[in-house]
Structure formats: structure tokens, C-alpha cells
Amino acid sequence: EHWELNQHFDYRILLKLKEDLEKIKAKKGTALNCGKGVLEELKPLATLEDEGLTLKEIVERVEKDLLEFADDETVAINVASTEPTPEFDPEYHATLEGFERAIEEDRRDKVTASMLYAYVSLKNGIPFANFTPSVSSSIPALKELAERVGVPHAGNDGKTGETLVKTTLAPMFAYRNLKVLGWMGYNILGDLDGKVLAHEQNKRSKIVSKDKVVGKILGYYPYTITEINYFPSLQDNKTAFDFIHFQGFLGTKMKFYFIWDAIDAIVAAPLVLDIARFLLLAKKKGQKGVVKELAFFFKSPMDTDEYNTHRQFEILKKWFEALVSS
């Protein structure tokens, strides 16, 4: 059905994979604290919490299902819809002991689905990447778990479209000493992602992730507008209209515009594959904890303040070359 709506690649490719794809059966999972956008737009949605399971029981079920197919080559990547950002609670999020106590005490108000999937993956030595703006493995408790188990992880929020262009263009203004006065980015998209992000509760964390990158690169924060709206007929297309107002020699004000129009699945899929390969290599080479060198792939990279795409790419290359030669 998704292909019929979009027809964004040769159908013969799908036919070649039909037999393998038909063997894959999704198990029931959790959508705990995923927000109204997920719960309303994915109806009917059957979840483990609907069965009345406690947090501990949900973790046990997810773990059982994961370990049925996981092997030494498995990498887990969160590509689910964006969750609302929970309030950080030091008692339950700052340490692994606190997080596991939240599970034991069934503190559903302190835990999200993305945290649980990250927890189960890292606990079992499976490299994990968060391709969404959701909190997932970025809380200190789960960073501690990754270090303790000795498994690599990375995130957050895959940099596939407009933000990729933003973090590539913004350095140009800095290099030429052109002061950015304002940057407007207006994004429209269809498909399920667009439906979920039409809900303010789910949209907020995505906007924060997209909006902050310009200031991080420039070293100052110009006036910005970042907006995301659902446009049903676009299906899997994402279109962004950006307007940049900047100041040059003698204080002269000038303008720069660009339009980004891409198919979401087609620009995201190769990044997911590359991230999985890099994390698997990192695991085999004995790396653990946050792999900040994978910042090149993310809007909100963990444990680094480097948002400049050019520098991120050089860091990634040096890291990879050192890793394969070790």
C-alpha cells in the first residue's frame, strides 16, 4: 500500500525481496508516553500496556522477542515516530540504579517507549542508534548502562533533509563573515510522520532539534522561525522552503533562498544502513558508550558541540580510518 501511494522506487526491487519480507512478522510492542500523535494516528494500535502489563513485564516481553532473532551482527535503530520530551527527573534518569528502580516501581510517568527499547538493546550488548528526536538512550542512566556493558550507541535525530542543508550552508556564512540576521524554515510533509507531527505535543521536540543547529554553528542565535505542517497529498515527500536574511559589507542586507524537496524514505534509508554498519564495526573494535564521531548523521548529536557538517565529516573519516587500521 505504501509503495502504491508513493511509487518512489522500482517495484521490481520490492518483488525480489517479497519472500524475505513476508517472513518478517512484527511483534506487539510498547507506545508508552508516545503522545497523542502516535496513539491517535496509528489507530487501531495494540500495545503491551493495553494488556495491563507492568513496566517490568513490558521489558521482559520486549527482551524475549528481541533475543529470539538477535545475534552478534544485530544493531537496533529507533526509527519510530517522535515522542514528546519528558521532564528530566534526576531520581530516575540520572543513574542506572534509578532507572531500573523506576521499572521495578512501575513508574510509567517517568519512562517512554524509546527509553525501554534502548534499555533492552544496550542491556543485551546490542549497539543502538536513535534516529529520532526522542530521548531514548541519551539520558545519563542509559549512557551509564552502555559503558558498563561495553556497547556503542549514537543519536539523536537523523539529519536527512532541510537540516542537512542548514548545517552545510550555515558554515559558509561564518567563513565569509556574513552576519545571519534571521533564518526561516517552513517544512511540509505527508505520510504518517506528517500526521503525527501535526500534533503539537509530538512536534515540539522535532522543532527544537531542527531550530538550534544554526546558532550552534554560528556561535550566536539569530532570529529563527521553524515550522512543520502536515500536507496530505505529499505522501512520503518532504518539502522545505528556507529564507535567510543576512548582512554583508558596509552593513548591506541581502537574502538567500532554497527549496529542498526529497522523498523521506529514500534519503533516510542509506543513513540508517551506514549507522548500523559503523556501530557494528565500533562494537567489533571494542568501542563502548556514545560514539560522538557519528555526529555527521544527526541533528542533535550526543556529547559534542560540533554541528558543522564539513567538520563532522572530517571527524568521521579520521575516526573510521583509525578504527579499521587498529
Q: Residue ranges per domain, the chain?
A: 23-158+267-325, 162-263
- Determine the topology of domain 162-263 in CATH: Dihydrodipicolinate Reductase; domain 2 (3.30.360)
Matching CATH topology for 23-158+267-325 and 162-263?
no
CA dihedral 116, 107, 111, 73 (to 10 degrees): -10
Residue 124 belongs to what H/E stretch?
Answer: none
Q: Is the pLDDT of residue 40 over 90?
A: no
Do 84 and 38 meet the contact criterion of CB atoms below 8 Å apart? no
Pick the CATH number of 23-158+267-325 from 3.30.470.20, 3.40.50.720, 3.20.20.450, 3.30.1330.40: 3.40.50.720
Determine the pLDDT at residue 183.
Answer: 97
User: pLDDT confidence of 133, banded at 50, 70, 90?
Assistant: very high
Encoded amino acid at 40, one letter: E
Grid coordinates standing for 212?
Answer: 538550534
CB burial of 110-136 (b: ≥16 within 10 Å; e: otherwise) equals: bbbbbbbbbbbbbbeebbbbbbbbbbb
* 80 closest CA partner among 197, 188, 207, 199: 197
Q: What is the pLDDT of residues 202-247, one digit of tens each?
A: 888 788 878 889 999 999 999 999 999 999 998 888 999 999 999 9
Percent of the chain with pLDDT strictly greater than 90: 82
Find residue 254's DSSP bridge partners: 246
Determine the pLDDT at residue 235.
Answer: 86
Strands of the sheet with 76-78, listed across from one edge: 76-78, 128-130, 152-155, 289-290
Range 301-316 average pLDDT: 97
Backbone angles phi, psi at 226, to 5 degrees: -130, 120
Determine the pLDDT at residue 102.
Answer: 98
Determine the pLDDT at residue 51.
Answer: 95
Sign, CA dihedral 89-91-92-94, equals positive
Find residue 173's DSSP bridge partners: none
Do 137 and 153 meet the contact criterion of CB atoms below 8 Å apart? yes
pTM here? 0.93
For residue 44, whether the previous peptide bond is cis, meaning omega lies within 30 degrees of 0, is: yes
Do 268 and 298 meet the contact criterion of CB atoms below 8 Å apart? no
Determine the pLDDT at residue 211.
Answer: 84
Grid coordinates standing for 104?
Answer: 521495578
CA distance 151 to 121: 9
Q: Is the pLDDT of residue 168 over 90?
A: yes
